[in-house]
Amino acid sequence: MAKNKKERARRSTASVATQRMLIGGLPQEEKEDLQQSPMQMVAKSFFKDKIAVTGMVCFLFIFICCIVLPFFFPIDKYYQDVTQANVAPGFSMLSVPKALQGNAEMLSVGSTFSVGIDKEGNVYEWGTFPTAKLKNIPSSSETGKLTQISAGLDHVLAVNEKGQVFTWGNDRMGLASVPMELRTGGEKIKQILAGYQISLALTEDGTMYNWGSDYLLNIMYPEGVQGNIEKFAAATNIVMVLTKDGKVVPLTNKSSAYTTIPEEIQGKVVDLALTDESAAALTEDGKVYTWGNNIKNTLTVPEEIQGQVASIAGGRYHFSVILKDGSIVSWGDDTHGQASAPNLGSDKAVQLDAGYYATYAITEKGTVKAWGLKGYLMGTDAFGRDVFRRLLIGGRMTMTVGAIAVIISTVIGITIGGISGYKGGKIDNLLMRLAEVVSSIPFLPFCIILSSILGNSITELQRIMLIMCILGLLSWPGIARLVRGSVLAEREQEFVTAAKALGVKEFGIIFRHILPNIITVIIVNATLDFATCMLTESSLSFIGFGVSEPNATWGNMLTGAQNGQVIENYWWRWVFPALVLGICTISINCIGDGLREAIDPKSKER
């Protein structure tokens, strides 16, 4: 017995030694392969494929951006602002020309552009121009020396030292029809304003002129107001004036939040400003009073500035003030930093202009300070919504729908394919006929008919869930056939016979023993199906039967680009969504192909 043990030990040692000698004669790469597990070999082969690795990096980058960045770039899906519609990509809105630094006489904020004049009366424009006509600035020989300037939605108003009024930019709705009294000069112009589809001018004798569209603004002058106006302020839907005796008067006969003026301030007001939802008045004791709708906290005046305010200006949803010590304070909407007033240090502000989403201040030293909306990384769409932010939210939605649909189809496919392949016979025949029936259902027509039937009877969340379920329930036959074929090959292996002999139940054999051996094939197929589901969801949303507005997906972002004008003039509205969707789906397909070749090296030969 002892001799037999020694003989077996000797043979084992000789066998190990022989194996070591054989392995020692192999190349280093083959030695490493023999020492690696199958998963390590697959990973090594995958990472050698540069195309697959590049695809994985691109997809992970897009995926992480769509998941993480929305927390830093939040979006209100119901937000719309026509003043910011179709703005081209760029960050030039606050790029004040260097020639104005130290030499600025007056600055004015428009919708997406700004204008200014220097002390010699020269005109400067910068930003993103909503119309090319804004670049048609009258020559100095035509205008003479300009003393005042104002930027509006898409036009500019200016006055020279003779009191002549000039306008350029969009000339629709009578914006170019300057009253004859103001064209010829002679009147001393105290204040001008290029508003939303309207122009206003106030003379030194307290008379106000208005021209342009009266669709949104139907101005009515109460008795005794004309000839008694000290200053005016305008929003998109109202004009209010400050009379010479310190009273605030709305130029309308309709009641609104603007017309609920606090009685205690009448006769004491020295300055007036409006936003699109509220009004603010500065009284002679340096206090600010607000009224209207408290949108974006515009009615919440900082308590510490009360009694110290020297002048006030209003943007679209924010107020800015100059204090008596020359410092600046802003409050209200700070989405674009327009309420984040800079610290001037020892310098003092002497002039302030707030409009739309930005503010300019001119200091005693002539320095121009600007804060607020600088521009949009990827421009805006027809509703003024930030394309970049919607791209992030849309990507998260598209990927979520695709991922959940793939999970549903994969679970169903594995279950049906595993049972069909293992059981065989009538069960196999029945399940495969079911798969053929599901495969024969035309997906897009089915979804269109279902969407038409349901219509508005379901909520948007229910619609999204329905799309995910339909995608999953109609996409499983392909993976079911793949799993069935793999199970048919594996069920005759020795480990399956051993499991049967040990009394393991059939479901245990299928899902605990056979499935782990074919899981890599399933992963490859699921990866490729993910890209297909993303494209299908985008196609449905594109034709209007998927996720609908105001929820964003890459598909419905492309819906608005279905006409030649958008394709030609607003390229950013379709280029960025199409580019990201294309890169994402191609990257996923590259990952799937790389995994397939890593798992089955013979596929390269085929």
pLDDT above 50 (res 17)? no
Cα–Cα nearest to 100, from 67, 123, 66: 123
Q: Over the stretch 69-91, which tens digit does the pLDDT of each residue have?
A: 999 888 888 889 989 999 999 99
For residues 592 and 482, give the distance between their C-alpha atoms in angstroms, rounded to a whole number.
15
* pLDDT cut 70: percent of the chain above it: 92
Which of 128-137, 421-430, 448-457 has the highest average model confidence (pLDDT)? 128-137
Query: Stretch 436-459: mean pLDDT, rounded?
Result: 78
Range name among 58-62, 158-162, 255-259, 467-471 with the lowest pLDDT average:
467-471
pLDDT at 552 over 90: no
Q: Give domain 38-79+386-604's CATH superfamily.
A: MetI-like (1.10.3720.10)
Q: One fold for both 38-79+386-604 and 218-344?
A: no
Predicted confidence band of residue 606 (pLDDT cuts 50, 70, 90): very low
Answer for the pair 374, 113: CB distance below 8 angstroms, yes or no: no
Is 386 or 39 the better-scoring residue by pLDDT? 386
CATH of domain 90-217: 2.130.10.30
Q: What are residue 362's DSSP bridge partners?
A: 351, 368
Helix, strand or coil for residue 112? coil
Contacts for 111 with CB less than 8 Å, ≥ 6 apart: 83, 84, 130, 151, 152, 153, 154, 356
- Is pLDDT of 345 > 90? no
Q: Categorise residue 366: left if φ over 0, alpha if ψ from -120 to 50, beta otherwise.
A: left
Average pLDDT of the segment spanning 233-256 = 92
Domain boundaries, the chain: 38-79+386-604, 90-217, 218-344
Kindly tell me if the per-residue pLDDT of 30 is higher than 60.
no
Would you say domain 218-344 falls under CATH 3.30.1490.20?
Answer: no
Residue 602: band (very low, low, confident or very high) from pLDDT cuts 50, 70, 90: low
So what's the pLDDT on residue 85? Answer: 92
Q: How far apart are CA 479 and CA 370, in angstroms?
A: 59
Whether the CB-CB separation of 487 and 417 falls below 8 Å is answered with yes
Structure tokens at 311: 């002048």
3-state secondary structure 201-265: EEECCCCEEEEECCCCCCCCCCCCCCCCEEEEEECCCCEEEEECCCCEEECCCCCCHHHCCCHHH
- Determine which of 17-31, 285-299, 462-476 has the lowest per-residue pLDDT on average: 17-31
Residue 16 has pLDDT above 50, yes or no: no
Q: What's the token pair of residue 584?
A: 């994402």
Q: What is the pLDDT of residue 270?
A: 95
State pLDDT tens for residues 507-532: 777 777 777 777 777 888 888 888 88
- Looking at residue 6, its pLDDT comes to 52
Most confident of the ranges 358-362, 437-441, 553-557? 358-362
pLDDT(95) > 60 = yes
With a cut of 50, say whether residue 150 has pLDDT above it: yes
- DSSP secondary structure of 280-311: EEEETTS-EEEEE--GGGTT---GGGTT-EEE
In this prediction, residue 106 has a pLDDT band, given cuts at 50, 70 and 90, of very high
Q: What confidence tier does 54 reach under pLDDT thresholds 50, 70, 90?
A: very high
Give ∠ CA 205-206-211 in degrees, rounded to 5.
115
Mean per-residue pLDDT for 578-591? 90
The percentage of the chain sitting over the pLDDT mark of 90, rounded to a whole number, equals 47
Q: What is the mean pLDDT of residues 266-292?
A: 95
**Which pLDDT band, with edges at 50, 70 and 90, does 226 fall under?**
very high
Query: In the prediction, which pLDDT does 22 show?
Result: 46
Q: Distance between CA atoms of 107 and 556, rounded to whole angstroms?
A: 39
The predicted pLDDT at position 461 comes to 75
Average pLDDT over the chain reads 86
pLDDT for 597: 82
pLDDT of residue 168: 95
pLDDT surpasses 60 at 8: no
